[in-house]
Amino acid sequence: MRLTAIITGASRGLGLALATGLSEAGWRLVVDARTPADLAAAAEWIGRDVVAVAGDIRDPTHRTALLDAAGDVDLLVNNAGILGPSPQPRLAGYPLDALRAVYEVNVLAPLALTQLALPSLRSREGALVNVTSDAAVEPYEGWGGYGSAKAAVEQASAVLAAEEPAVRVWWADPGDLRTRMHQEAFPGEDISDRPEPETVAPTIADLISSGRPSGRYRAADLVPVSAVA
Ligand SMILES: NC(=O)c1ccc[n+]([C@@H]2O[C@H](COP(=O)([O-])OP(=O)(O)OC[C@H]3O[C@@H](n4cnc5c(N)ncnc54)[C@H](OP(=O)(O)O)[C@@H]3O)[C@@H](O)[C@H]2O)c1
């Protein structure tokens, strides 16, 4: 039976790397991002059996379109996210409208999409991956907006794991990655020493196929099955 996954934010970065890996592993995919041209190019790169639905995950109509395109859902990967202003403001002066946007994209929209997907995930004993960050648990100066949003994602994930025994709920920290978001976090700095998302995606793909219990996972602690075999 062909399994279906929704992966948000799959036009670049970690989402694209993960989508490419899951497609190669035989998953049918529904992917999104806000920028249609980038998403179309990504879908072509990913290859077979991928449905691209451009839109903003904050938009309820778009979220419904993702579920409609998927039909039955075996896996939801809430990967799309934003950093917020770059450089990141300290909390003392963080513009609240910007903070609201960070929470909308990183916390509320993924939860809303999860709510839509849960009936299908429950009935198919599916799985939910919420992409988190070490900024959720470490009090880095300047990371209070993004970090507190990811902390909310983590606690919501933990409660979902308790409330939804039929669904695996993994909240996964990929570690630092060489992506556009990471460059925004370190404007003007050379981030070429950070790993490419393609190096981390296989560990998250292995987590998905592992059947491990719900919980928080760091990619750095997960040894890819493919590297062991
Ligand atoms: N990079 C790191 O070092 C790092 C570390 C820890 C955790 N993470 C997490 O990993 C995930 C992926 O990050 P990344 O570094 O790969 O970021 P990225 O390169 O900036 O990619 C973000 C993706 O999300 C999409 N997106 C952003 N806002 C969206 C919205 N409102 N609706 C739909 N799609 C949206 C973007 O496309 P559009 O802009 O076209 O919408 C893009 O496809 C995020 O959850 C991030 O917090 C990253």
pLDDT confidence bin for 222, thresholds 50/70/90: confident
Say if residue 229's pLDDT is above 50. Answer: no
Say if residue 108's pLDDT is above 80. Answer: yes
Give the pLDDT of residue 2: 87
Q: Which of 94, 103, 146, 217 is catalytic?
A: 146
Q: Whose CA is nearest to atom 5 of ligand 1?
A: 176
Domain that holds residue 109: 4-227
Q: How far is the CA of 229 from the centre of ligand 1 (A)?
A: 31
Say if residue 228's pLDDT is above 50. Answer: no
Say yes or no: CB of residue 8 within 6 Å of ligand 1.
yes
Rounded mean pLDDT of the chain?
Answer: 96
Say if residue 164's pLDDT is above 80. Answer: yes
Which residue in this structure is represented by tokens 């996972």? Answer: 217
Q: Measuring CA to CA, how many Å separate 120 from each of 68, 164, 178, 200?
A: 12, 12, 34, 28
Q: How far is the CA of 19 from the centre of ligand 1 (A)?
A: 13
Say yes or no: CB of residue 114 within 6 Å of ligand 1.
no
Say if residue 141's pLDDT is above 80. Answer: yes
Give the pLDDT of residue 1: 74
Say yes or no: CB of residue 137 within 6 Å of ligand 1.
no
Indicate the angle between helix axes 144-163 and 96-103, nearest 10 degrees. 30
**Picking from 125-139, 196-210, 215-229, which range would have the lowest pLDDT averaged per residue?**
215-229
What is the arithmetic mean of pLDDT over 142-162? 98
CATH number at residue 219: 3.40.50.720
Percent of the chain with pLDDT over 70: 97
**How crowded is residue 18: how many other Cβ atoms within 10 Å of its Cβ?**
29
Say if residue 223's pLDDT is above 90. Answer: no
Say yes or no: CB of residue 174 within 6 Å of ligand 1.
yes
> How many domains does the chain divide into?
1
Q: Please, what is the Cα angle at 81 between 179 and 135, to 5 degrees?
A: 80
Q: Measuring CA to CA, how many Å separate 162 from each of 23, 121, 170?
A: 30, 15, 12
Q: How far is the CA of 182 from the centre of ligand 1 (A)?
A: 9
Residue 146 bears catalytic tag: yes
What is the arithmetic mean of pLDDT over 92-109? 98
Say if residue 225's pLDDT is above 70. Answer: no
